[in-house]
């Protein structure tokens, strides 16, 4: 992770004389990929300081991002090249931008031209949030419908039982022949605890 700075004279100043900064964050998934494109775009946008990571978007541990979030102050704006540089998913992105807003920090994505410090940019982002919630509700509704249909067909959702009816029948035969439950479970390559539960519930 590297930190890149530019002259503080390039930054903005608020009404009480406190420096208000544009803080950049760049990320690539592997060391083989190059940060140059993102760094150039962030510098051209006027970022006072740029933090970066070499980490997959799915990875929760991103030290550069953590340092950038710690560095941000009220009135600052976090700037990224694209939306997917910040969030692991749409819901994660919305969560992060919401956390920034609660701290009085803006968010700006250069490629999508979204800036939450403007009313239009905030409106667009709120629409994204509504679409993400709609997608989650749709997935949940489809999942419930699928489980309901499976139950109506006589099938139960979830993981298949470890002890199938055939294995339970064989286990009983082994036990009747003198094997212990542990020995029967080992012979059938199933867990002893699972077999005990199956025997008790049958």
Burial group, residue 11, by CB count within 10 angstroms (0-12, 13-18, 19+): middle
* All residues at 6 or more sequence positions from 98 whose CB lies less than 8 Å from its CB, including other chains: none
* pLDDT on residue 70: 95
* pLDDT on residue 95: 85
Q: What is the pTM of this model?
A: 0.58
* pLDDT on residue 150: 73
Q: Kindly name the residue from 29, 56, 89, 130 that is annotated as catalytic.
A: 29
Contact status, residue 73 vs residue 45, Cβ threshold 8 Å: no
CA angle in degrees (0–180, nearest 5) for 91-22-130? 20
pLDDT in tens, the chain (202 residues): 555 555 444 444 443 444 579 999 999 987 778 899 999 999 999 999 999 998 776 666 789 999 999 999 999 999 999 988 998 787 788 888 989 999 999 999 999 899 999 888 888 878 877 776 777 777 888 887 877 777 777 655 556 667 888 888 888 888 888 888 888 888 888 888 888 888 887 6
* pLDDT on residue 174: 86
Q: From CA 50, how far away is CA 25, in angstroms rounded? A: 6
Tell me whether residue 29 is one of the annotated catalytic residues: yes
State how far the alpha carbon of 174 is from the alpha carbons of 7, 118, 162, 170, 189, in Å.
80, 73, 17, 6, 13
Contact status, residue 65 vs residue 27, Cβ threshold 8 Å: yes
* pLDDT on residue 53: 92
Which CATH code of 3.40.50.720, 3.40.50.1390, 3.20.20.10, 1.10.8.50 fits the domain covering 3-116? 3.40.50.1390
* pLDDT on residue 3: 58
Spell out the domain ranges in the chain.
Answer: 3-116, 165-201
């Amino acid at each position: 992770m590297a930190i890149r700075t530019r002259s503080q004279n390039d930054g903005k100043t608020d009404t009480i004389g406190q420096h208000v900064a544009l803080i950049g964050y760049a990320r690539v998934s592997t060391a083989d990929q190059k940060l140059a494109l993102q760094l150039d775009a962030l510098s051209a946008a006027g970022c006072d300081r740029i933090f970066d990571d070499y980490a997959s978007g799915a990875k929760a541990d991103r030290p550069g991002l953590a340092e950038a979030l710690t560095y941000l102050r009220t009135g600052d704006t976090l700037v990224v090249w694209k939306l997917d540089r910040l969030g692991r998913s749409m819901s994660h992105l919305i969560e992060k931008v919401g956390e920034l807003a609660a701290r009085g920090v803006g968010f700006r994505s250069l490629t999508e031209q979204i800036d939450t410090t403007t009313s239009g940019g905030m409106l667009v982002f709120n629409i994204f949030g509504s679409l993400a919630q709609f997608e989650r509700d749709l997935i949940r509704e489809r999942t419930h419908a699928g489980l309901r249909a499976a139950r109506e067909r006589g099938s139960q959702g979830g993981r298949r039982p470890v002890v199938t009816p055939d294995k339970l029948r064989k286990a009983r035969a082994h036990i009747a022949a003198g094997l212990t439950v542990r020995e029967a479970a080992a012979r059938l390559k199933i867990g002893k605890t699972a077999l005990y539960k199956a025997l008790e519930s049958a």
